[in-house]
A and B are shown apart, each in its own frame.
Chain A
């Protein structure tokens, strides 16, 4: 087991280094000089040279990379040359925003999706199913930016029930947090809710014709108990798998929603960093993302072997 863990850790380290190299080279391959972007209107050659010197941009790429890795290894992600703020602090502020938004959107998607899916399956070929299908179709086909605009115009401007922008952490003020996040979470979760609804409906339709459901009914169980206690429970396996697969898409899809509702999240931070050629910020964001993905994969791999000892890795029993 320890050899396997060691090997996986080594593989993870190599993957991480490769990710940093790809990003390091990739952002420098983009057209546009970061010194020129930083200089703005005051872009005389002397100023540009001074900026390049200040941030080490005049050094050979391998030197720049090694300096970056050296600092990153000690937890120092550097400062944004544009704002002068610590990259780690900025990420520390942005990450919880996106995570809370995504979690809220997921909750909304699951509640709406499963509820509508169950109704559509139970009320098959009835107005309730048509309505649920119609809502699902809308959820899938309406672009987030349009839905967001409409919700703002309607519920923030015409009937000012919700704010048009801003973020309050759930841990600081749960009520205000929900008030601020409801519209963006609805927008972000609408697509996923439609997918969950379609999957729940399909799985439920299959489950409702299964032998164990017929048996449950024959035993005299009530309709609600059959549907929720038996059919839905078994259908959730498919739904949970789909939700898991869509989680990544949800977080990356948060970029548009964050821009619309001016949420200072991870996606907004990344996009703005790319447009301003803020190298330390882009590198920091990618490093944190890559580390998170690698760590999650590593933990999942290790958990597989712990949960099911029959799983052999590399042909060797653990």
Chain B
């Protein structure tokens, strides 16, 4: 996909940056997208076979952590809220959007009535309270940190709950549009205890049937589902296929009908197949380079001065980081490494997000000469030696080598350090790195894509970055329910991030989903999750 840089006015703060940073552009990622297969009539019945790129972890909404797991949950565990294809929040198990009290400390949620879990028990306010309490308090819950602002849940009546907050936190509704908003059957929770993941029972178009490790997960149509009349399929079988070529081959051979992640290198080949279709949507996440500014004692600890061998002007002088960013040509990286299939980006907010703005999409222009001039002004002799931890996959190496070549033009000598993924996370959490190429799968609310990474002592702030002004802006955005105000606040945060450069945002992947032309009604939105609620096989 060609990227068309559009010259635009830059943010005020960006204009104050020296040298080449005065030239900015905004990335225009508005490209034709097809987020669903066409809505031809579907026949009843059939098992849809889906190739997943990785094995989901535990199918327990309280502890689940993987993106592919979220896709499976979409079939079996509905949430209080969901997103539509424009990424706007819409009610799912809730009957309407929530009502906020004036001080933002009480959120009232009306629930759908007459809804049953897959085990036939009623989904009501008591069940919502049971689930939210479990998400918040279960040992090992991955939802605890997402629900920190929630003080308690009160049952107002069988179809209404009131969320009492410690502090106003508007991103909570987006949180409830993810696993923290999944409601589990209290009867099943009581029966299975800690082993809920082996037989999850929620509300969904399908219900869990079986799972074989590293092989498949099978779900079947749930007759208790409130919208069962719209469900065409008898079931869905998720098959685990880690290798991209193997997945693509299985789609071509007809052994699966849906492929959850088409490699960028296979997109053109897929488009050329007459019996296959491509569903495309912009991801909410990003890939980028995280720079260690002060992570000495581990993530979440107070920043301090780095020691050898990680110390250097890259950590202490923002001009060096700005120079490194100026040396990178994102459009060329996208073209060379990903055949132009992804979207170059310079910030954490997707252009498709309602919180995006021109300021949020502003981008320092590629300018190696200006990069060298910045290094000279910082009193550094070129080449400046730096290092970057990258993954040990072929894609990661290609990306690393492209960055390395471009950095050289900007006056840097970049050493690449390929490390196996699990080991790289441990190494960089501990602060044992200068730069780290890593990404984030993305959340609907911008807070989920920014705050944890750059807020002082943020839970994923492996940069060791701290800027009180950024913290204040983020806190204000969390308390505001006004989209315009939040859009402005996040724009100002991003301007400051462009100045300090704790992270360099490189590109946003696209969600490429391959589907057989036999299927209809498969939906994939910006969150990248597969939706099969109304999917089926095309009627002859």
Contacts and interface: CB of A to CB of B under 8 A. Distances in A.
A7 interface: no
A276 B56 CA distance: 12
A141 to B, nearest CB: 22
Interface string B411-425: 000000001111101
A47 B145 contact: yes
B213 A90 contact: yes
A272 B55 contact: yes
Interface string B295-322: 0001110000000000000000000000
B141 interface: yes
A83 B459 contact: no
Interface in B135-155: 139-142, 144-146
Nearest to B145: A44
A38 B65 contact: yes
Contact of B214 (A53, A165, A268): A268
B422 A53 contact: no
Given A32-B422, A272-B55, A42 B253 contact: no
A152 B245 CA distance: 11
B420 A31 contact: yes
Interface string B208-239: 00011111100000000000000000000001
Interface stretch (A58-66, A156-164, A200-208): A156-164
Contact of A41 (B65, B212, B241, B254): B65
Given A85-B211, A93-B213, A157-B253, A41 B145 contact: no
Contacts of A82: 55, 57-58
Interface stretch (A103-111, A234-242, A244-252, A256-264): A256-264
A83 B142 contact: no
B376 interface: no
Contacts of B214: 90, 94, 264, 268-269, 272
A277 interface: yes
Contacts of B298: 45
A93 B65 contact: no
Contacts of A32: 420, 422-423, 425-426
Given A40-B57, A84-B197, A31 B426 contact: yes
Contacts of A260: 243, 246
B250 A165 contact: yes
Contacts of B213: 80, 83, 85, 89-90, 93-94, 264, 269, 281
A50 interface: yes
A156 B248 CA distance: 12
A166 B255 contact: yes
Contacts of B427: 31
B65 A40 contact: yes
A157 B249 contact: yes
B265 to A, nearest CB: 15
B480 interface: no
B37 interface: no
Interface in B45-71: 55-60, 65-66
A68 B105 CA distance: 47
Contacts of B195: 79, 84
Contacts of B422: 31-34, 36-37, 275-277
A51 interface: yes
A137 interface: no
A210 to B, nearest CB: 49
A43 interface: yes
A39 interface: yes
Contacts, number: 157
A42 B211 CA distance: 24
B215 A264 contact: yes
A45 B440 contact: no
Interface in B182-218: 195, 197-198, 211-216
B452 interface: yes
A164 B255 contact: yes
Nearest to B430: A33
A160 B459 CA distance: 50
A69 to B, nearest CB: 22
A83 B239 contact: no
Interface residues of B, number: 54
A149 interface: yes
Interface in B316-339: none
A152 B243 contact: no
Given A32-B426, A84-B198, A93-B215, A44 B460 contact: yes
B479 interface: no
B66 A40 contact: yes
Contacts of B198: 84-85
A37 B246 contact: no
A149 B300 CA distance: 46
A36 to B, nearest CB: 5
A33 B65 contact: no
Contact of A160 (B211, B241, B254, B440): B254
B253 A54 contact: no
A30 interface: yes
B408 to A, nearest CB: 29
Contacts of A152: 249, 253
A164 B139 CA distance: 42
* Most B C-beta atoms less than 10 A away, residue of A43, A46, A82, A166: A43
Interface in B414-452: 419-423, 425-427, 429, 440-441, 452
B43 interface: no
Contacts of A160: 253-254
Contact of A262 (B241, B299, B423): B241
Interface in B274-290: none
Given A37-B425, A45-B459, A163 B211 contact: no
A50 B65 CA distance: 14
B182 to A, nearest CB: 15
Nearest to A35: B426
Nearest to B429: A36
* Most B C-beta atoms less than 10 A away, residue of A42, A89, A149, A269: A42
A276 B55 CA distance: 10
A50 B429 contact: no
* Most A C-beta atoms less than 10 A away, residue of B239, B249, B420: B249
Contacts of A30: 423
Given A44-B300, A163-B255, A269-B213, 15 more contacts: A31-B419, A31-B422, A38-B57, A38-B65, A39-B65, A44-B452, A83-B213, A149-B249, A157-B252, A164-B246, A165-B250, A166-B239, A262-B241, A268-B214, A272-B55
Interface of B: 55-60, 65-66, 139-142, 144-146, 195, 197-198, 211-216, 239-243, 245-246, 249-250, 252-255, 298-300, 419-423, 425-427, 429, 440-441, 452, 459-460
27 contacts: A32-B420, A32-B426, A36-B426, A39-B142, A42-B145, A43-B425, A44-B145, A44-B452, A47-B145, A50-B140, A53-B139, A54-B139, A82-B58, A83-B56, A84-B59, A85-B211, A89-B213, A93-B215, A157-B252, A164-B255, A165-B246, A165-B255, A167-B215, A264-B216, A269-B214, A275-B420, A275-B422
